[in-house]
């Protein structure tokens, strides 16, 4: 099979490069930007000099370009790692956020519908948050986003479903990796350089190491391949649907930061808990956005690592 990865130079896309190394399938990595020198160096450090660092240009807002890429390369699966991911900036960025988070995934879904392929699309816990929760959110719970980012991601999910393509939508949360900018890298730097730091404790969720998410995506692709081989006639995937994936466990951003500092040995920095209203932002974040992962664990027989164990692995890679 040939598998297309979009947004390949982002956090998750780079982990897909690592996790797919050695696969019997052919992976094509695409983005609108070239890989940075920093990312290429990290890829080689983590996966060796023979890691695939190539990037073909593909703008997922352009349906004709997607169609051409799919037909020229006989693509059977698309893994969409591209998105507008800046939650605060989404409030004022205008139409591009809806275009990238809703219309573009619809383009990918249309292209997969036309060839009977599968779209693996990544969504977010921020499709929830408008209602107060104190239990983990299930896949069929009503979306109640609090900002433009969550709303446009929810629109993207609906548009994908409406095309009738084979799809797996994976909602994830608090994503971090060795690549790009993220909370872990920011806090590693701040706890190493600042004498004290305040971090919110009234927002609770679960961190997700993008390598673990990439691993889950590979499991889904392998499952799809088994079925695809058996049912070439119909090509309807029995596990089409929405799934939740984060690491195991629950913490606040404050606990997350304390653990980052402890693992890194940044003990000189005094980290104090504070309320969200001390850091006003354009979007109200959910107070409790824990995802219930029962469905993915049962349907795909996935064992999910505890968030502290994965955090240790990522920080070790960064050091």
Binding site for ligand NAP (CB under 6 A): 6-7, 9-12, 31-33, 59-61, 81-83, 85, 100, 122, 124, 153, 172-175, 180
Spell out the residues 6+ positions from residue 81 whose beta carbon is closer than 8 angstroms to its own: 5, 6, 7, 8, 10, 11, 12, 13, 16, 122
**225 φ/ψ angles, rounded to the nearest 5 degrees:** -60, -40
Torsional sign, CA 124, 128, 129, 132: negative
Q: Which is nearer to ligand NAP, 66 or 263 (CB)?
A: 66
In the bound complex, what is the minimum distance in angstroms from residue 181's beta carbon to ligand NAP?
A: 8
Q: Which is nearer to ligand NAP, 117 or 180 (CB)?
A: 180
In the bound complex, what is the minimum distance in angstroms from residue 231's beta carbon to ligand NAP?
A: 29
In the bound complex, what is the minimum distance in angstroms from residue 124's beta carbon to ligand NAP?
A: 4
Q: Which residue is nearest to ligand NAP (CB)?
A: 10
Closest to 173 (Cα-Cα) out of 118, 210, 147: 210
Structure tokens at 317: 């890679």
Separation between Cα atoms, residue 33 and residue 85, nearest integer Å:
15
In the bound complex, what is the minimum distance in angstroms from residue 7's beta carbon to ligand NAP?
A: 3
DSSP string of 262-278?
A: HHHT-TTSEEEEE-GGG
* Per annotation, catalytic residue among 27, 126, 149, 167: 149
Separation between Cα atoms, residue 9 and residue 23, nearest integer Å:
19
In the bound complex, what is the minimum distance in angstroms from residue 232's beta carbon to ligand NAP?
A: 30
Q: Which is nearer to ligand NAP, 165 or 228 (CB)?
A: 165
Q: Which is nearer to ligand NAP, 104 or 228 (CB)?
A: 104
Q: Which is nearer to ligand NAP, 27 or 228 (CB)?
A: 27
Separation between Cα atoms, residue 256 and residue 267, nearest integer Å:
14
Separation between Cα atoms, residue 213 and residue 63, nearest integer Å:
27
Q: Which is nearer to ligand NAP, 124 or 266 (CB)?
A: 124
Residues 285-316 as b/e (b if ≥16 CB within 10 A, e otherwise) read bbbbbbbebebbbeebebebbebbebbbebbe
Any catalytic annotation for residue 149? yes
Q: Which is nearer to ligand NAP, 171 or 258 (CB)?
A: 171
In the bound complex, what is the minimum distance in angstroms from residue 127's beta carbon to ligand NAP?
A: 10
Closest to 300 (Cα-Cα) out of 214, 222, 236: 222
Structure tokens at 50: 């023979």
Closest to 112 (Cα-Cα) out of 154, 76, 58, 59: 76
Spell out the residues 6+ positions from residue 218 whose beta carbon is closer than 8 angstroms to its own: 19, 20, 23
In the bound complex, what is the minimum distance in angstroms from residue 3's beta carbon to ligand NAP?
A: 16
Closest to 179 (Cα-Cα) out of 59, 3, 6, 45: 45
Residues tagged active-site: 149
């Amino acid at each position: 099979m040939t598998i297309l990865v979009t947004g390949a130079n982002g956090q998750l896309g780079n982990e897909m490069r690592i996790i797919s190394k050695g696969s019997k399938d052919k992976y094509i990595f695409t983005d609108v930007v070239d890989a940075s020198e920093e990312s290429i160096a990290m890829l080689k450090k983590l996966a060796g000099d023979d890691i695939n660092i190539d990037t073909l240009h593909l703008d997922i807002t352009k349906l004709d370009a997607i169609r051409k890429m799919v037909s020229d390369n006989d693509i059977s699966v698309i893994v969409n790692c591209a998105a507008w991911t800046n939650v605060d900036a989404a409030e004022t960025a205008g139409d591009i956020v809806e275009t990238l988070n809703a219309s573009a995934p619809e383009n990918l879904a249309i292209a997969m519908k036309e060839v009977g392929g599968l779209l693996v699309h990544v969504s977010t816990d921020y499709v929830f948050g408008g209602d107060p929760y104190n239990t983990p959110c299930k896949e069929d719970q009503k979306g109640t986003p609090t900002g433009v980012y969550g709303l446009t991601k929810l629109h993207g999910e609906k548009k994908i479903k409406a095309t009738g393509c084979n799809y797996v939508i994976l909602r994830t949360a608090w994503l971090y990796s060795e690549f790009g900018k993220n909370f872990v890298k920011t806090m590693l730097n701040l706890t190493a350089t600042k004498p004290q730091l305040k971090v919110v404790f009234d927002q609770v969720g679960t961190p997700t190491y993008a390598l673990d998410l990439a691993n889950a995506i590979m499991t889904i692709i392998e499952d799809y391949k088994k079925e695809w081989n058996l049912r070439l006639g119909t090509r309807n995937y029995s596990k089409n649907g929405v799934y939740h994936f984060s690491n195991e466990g629950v913490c606040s951003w404050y606990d997350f930061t304390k653990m980052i500092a402890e693992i890194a040995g940044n003990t000189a920095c005094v980290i104090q808990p504070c309320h969200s209203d001390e850091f006003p932002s354009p979007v109200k974040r959910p107070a409790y956005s824990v995802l219930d992962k029962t469905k993915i664990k049962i349907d795909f027989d996935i064992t999910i690592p505890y968030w502290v164990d994965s955090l240790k692995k990522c920080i070790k890679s960064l050091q």
